[in-house]
Structure formats: C-alpha cells, structure tokens
C-alpha cells in the first residue's frame, strides 16, 4: 500500500510500505478520510513528543473491507470511524481515570496510509445522518465532548471559548448542546467565526476589534463568565480565562500547551475567587457516543481542504498556518 512516513521535522517520504496484517479480532479498513490534527503539526515542530520514523495520522474514517476469523463478516462494507487505542476496562486507569488511558492499551493510529488494521471494537459504526467523511472529526470532537461533559453547566450560564479552530468550534458546540444559555467564541479568522453561527453559537468576538476583557464585561454586565474554555494551547490565554470568569467560575483547558509551559496566573486571586481549573486531554470515555452527538450538528462545509496522500507535508504546513476550518487527507482519492 501507499503511505506517507514522517522522517523527523518537516520531512516526509511518500511511497510503498507493506500492507498491515490482520489478526483474528481485527478488521481491515480502507481509509477514506484522515483529519490533519494540531498534534500532527506540533510533532513536526518538535512541540509534542514523538519519535521518527513513523506513519502519523490518528483521525480517520473509512470502510471495512476484510475481517479477522473471530469477527462477523456482516461488518464488511460498513462505514466506520477509528478509535486509535483499545481498553481493557479492568486496569487501574480504566477504573479510576479513563478508558483512553488504559494501561494495556494497544495503539493503532498509522492512518496517513491507504489501509489500516484495527481491533474490531475500535471500528465504531458511523450512524445514519452523519456523512462518513465528516465522521473523521470524531477523534478531536470526542476530546472536546469529554472535557465539556465534566463541567457543571447551570441554568442561564454564559460561556466563552477562546479559539475557533476545530477544537474550539466543537467545544463551543457541545457547550450549547449541553444546556449553556449563551455561548460566545473569540476568533480572529472571519470564516471560522462565521462557521460558529452554523453550530448555534450565540455571540462572536473579533479580537482585532476589541479586547476580550471589554467584550466579556459588556456580555456579562461586568459579572464575569460562568465558564471559559481555552482551545488554542497558549498558557497566557489560559491565564486570561482565569481572569474572565466570575467567583467560583470554571476554566476548561482544551488546547494543549507545549511541555514545560508555566501558567502565568495570580494564584492568590484565583484562590480567593475559588476558581476551578479543569484540564481535558484526550477522548475520555466518550469516543463511541461522539458520532451520534456529531449527527445532531450542522457540519456541512466543516471540511475546507482535501489533500492527496502524497501532499501530507503541505497539508500540515497549511493547518499550522490556520488555513480553513478542517483540513483532511484522502488516501484513496
């Protein structure tokens, strides 16, 4: 099969590699769509730990074309989205943390390729009403859903998401579907702000036109936000979220900051106002139900760039420059 192999830095090699093997409890999937993730970008920039050479890509959907001996052949032809890890449900991490941090986890996420073999349980059916191409955003969306699901959203709550990339848009959308009365988003790119309205976001903020402090003061009559979510991955913006919430407000970290980044926050002020800082990293326990949640949203046009497999390097550059809403790779054309 063809694949695009990361060699380190921004270097990739496109060419032939051996087809993946399929075990008795596995399924073989013809990859239709792979999302380009901020993590892929950060890996090539040295901001996220990873060791070359390897095939990147962990946001995929496609069609089952072959099954192992222990898997029903009825699954052949099924459209699925791929969870890139497994879970045992029995280890300490599964029981007290999350199944996505299983200690016996088998990682399967080499999806910048034409084919992938994954455990049967990791191939989640795409529900009716959700396009299989759009279903490829399940992985990042599940990270947002997991974070939002752990918040306390009270009646008449007002929230803000800083950052209108894929993670910010999904976080804002799930805040809305989880009962938040007013959801605002702050994003400098106009077409991302415009797309937010399609997801039911109530108020848009352009940071080039006014400060976020003034915007939130006007929005909340000086009271402060109930919830603020940072979806960029900048420590200074997490600190800004702490400033913007009311006493006993909540801050959700969805964007992933570089390792070692300090949090420049006034701890006395944060403690005095009893602000809760909640971090969210990964899919939690919600991956399997995320496609159903996505099917409730108007996601037409969320994919704004499609690239051939050989063009993974350019797609990663474009994603890093904030082009479009969601950029994807089409390994099989």
pLDDT tens for residues 155-190? 899 999 999 999 999 999 999 999 999 999 999 999
pLDDT at position 108: 66
Q: What would the two tokens of residue 260 be?
A: 């070692």
pTM reported for the whole predicted model? 0.93
- List, in order of start, the domains of the chain with CATH numbers: 2-139+283-330 (3.90.180.10), 151-279 (3.40.50.720)
pLDDT per residue as tens digits for the range 265-320:
999 999 999 999 999 999 999 999 999 999 999 999 999 999 999 999 999 999 99
In the predicted model, residues of the chain with pLDDT beneath 70 are 107-108
Strands annotated E in the chain: 2-8, 11-16, 26-35, 54-55, 60-67, 79-82, 115-119, 123-125, 158-162, 182-186, 203-205, 225-230, 245-253, 276-279, 303-308, 326-330
């Amino acid at each position: 099969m063809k694949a695009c192999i990361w060699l380190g830095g921004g270097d990739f090699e496109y060419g032939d590699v051996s087809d993946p093997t399929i075990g008795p409890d596995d399924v073989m999937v013809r990859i239709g769509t792979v999302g380009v993730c901020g993590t892929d970008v950060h890996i090539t920039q040295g901001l996220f730990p990873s060791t070359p050479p390897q095939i990147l890509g962990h946001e995929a959907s496609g069609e089952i074309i072959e099954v192992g001996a222990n898997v029903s052949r009825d699954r052949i032809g099924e459209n699925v989205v791929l969870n890139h890890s497994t879970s045992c449900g029995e280890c300490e991490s599964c029981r007290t943390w999350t199944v996505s941090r299983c200690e016996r986890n088998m990682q399967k996420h080499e999806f910048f390729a034409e084919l992938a073999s994954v455990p049967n349980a990791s191939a989640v059916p795409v529900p009716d009403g959700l396009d299989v191409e759009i279903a490829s955003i399940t992985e990042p969306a599940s990270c947002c859903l997991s974070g939002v699901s752990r918040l306390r959203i009270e009646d008449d709550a007002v929230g803000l998401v800083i950052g209108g990339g894929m993670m910010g848009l999904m976080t804002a959308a799930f805040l809305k579907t989880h009962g938040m009365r007013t959801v605002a988003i702050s994003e400098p790119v106009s077409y991302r702000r415009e797309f937010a309205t399609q997801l039911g976001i109530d108020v848009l903020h352009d940071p080039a036109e006014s400060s976020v402090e003034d915007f939130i003061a006007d929005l909340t009559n000086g009271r402060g936000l109930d919830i603020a979510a940072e979806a960029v991955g900048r420590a200074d913006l997490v600190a800004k979220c702490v400033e913007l919430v009311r006493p006993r407000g909540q801050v959700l970290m969805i964007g992933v900051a570089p390792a070692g980044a300090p949090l420049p926050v006034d701890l006395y002020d944060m403690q005095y106002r009893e602000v809760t800082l909640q971090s969210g990293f990964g899919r939690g326990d919600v991956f399997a139900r995320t496609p159903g949640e996505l099917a409730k949203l108007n996601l037409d046009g969320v994919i704004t760039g499609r690239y051939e497999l050989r063009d993974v390097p350019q797609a990663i550059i474009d994603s890093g420059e904030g082009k479009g809403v969601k950029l994807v790779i089409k390994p099989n054309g």
